């Protein structure tokens, strides 16, 4: 179980990540701290990236994905994220991480999300190329704030 906080944020956001685990840690730091500059650095800056937020449609391209995170961050309260049950599949220049995200507002667990994060080694280090997240509960079981993720 990992708890990502913003205490370890890099000062220089032009990061060349050396492996997929570093990218993932920075992704959750950016998410938790609503740090759009760090989120920009996590993603590969191409039109071939994809993001699917819970109960949302597919978003293609770096620019549209960053715009979606800006919108999420604008309405988000302080959130803590615990990443549990990781399963990593890493082959040469591609890594797939399957995780369970537990989102907390204060002490309240407000969402359990299953996520697939895909990373690829690029000329600029490892970068995220896909993030697909979906709720682990039906809406009748848990009311999820769509602004959380």
Q: Is residue 143 part of a domain?
A: no
Q: Is residue 50 part of a domain?
A: yes
User: Structural domain of residue 65, as residue ranges?
Assistant: 17-135
Q: Is residue 80 part of a domain?
A: yes
Q: Is residue 3 part of a domain?
A: no
Predicted TM-score (pTM) of this structure:
0.82
Q: Is residue 94 part of a domain?
A: yes
Based on the structure, what is the number of domains in the chain? 1
How confident is residue 145, by pLDDT bands cut at 50, 70 and 90? Answer: low
Q: Is residue 81 predicted with pLDDT exceeding 90?
A: yes
Q: Is residue 146 predicted with pLDDT exceeding 90?
A: no
Q: Is residue 99 part of a domain?
A: yes
List the CATH number of the domain containing 111: 3.10.450.50
Q: Is residue 117 part of a domain?
A: yes
Q: How far is CA 18 from CA 48, 124, 125, in A?
A: 21, 9, 6
Task: Supply the pLDDT for residue 114.
Answer: 97
Q: Is residue 2 part of a domain?
A: no
């Amino acid at each position: 179980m990992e708890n990502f906080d913003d205490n370890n944020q890099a000062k220089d956001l032009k990061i060349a990540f050396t492996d997929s685990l570093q990218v993932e840690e920075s992704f959750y730091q950016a998410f938790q701290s609503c740090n759009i500059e760090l989120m920009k650095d996590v993603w590969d800056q191409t039109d071939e990236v994809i993001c699917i937020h819970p109960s949302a449609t597919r978003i293609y391209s770096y620019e549209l994905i960053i715009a979606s995170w800006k919108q999420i961050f604008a309405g988000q309260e302080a959130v803590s994220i615990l990443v549990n049950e990781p399963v990593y599949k890493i082959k040469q220049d591609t890594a797939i991480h399957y995780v369970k995200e537990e989102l907390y507002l204060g002490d309240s667990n407000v969402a359990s999300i299953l996520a697939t994060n895909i990373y690829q080694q690029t000329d600029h280090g490892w970068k995220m190329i896909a993030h697909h997240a979906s709720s682990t509960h039906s809406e009748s079981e848990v009311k999820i704030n769509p602004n959380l993720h």
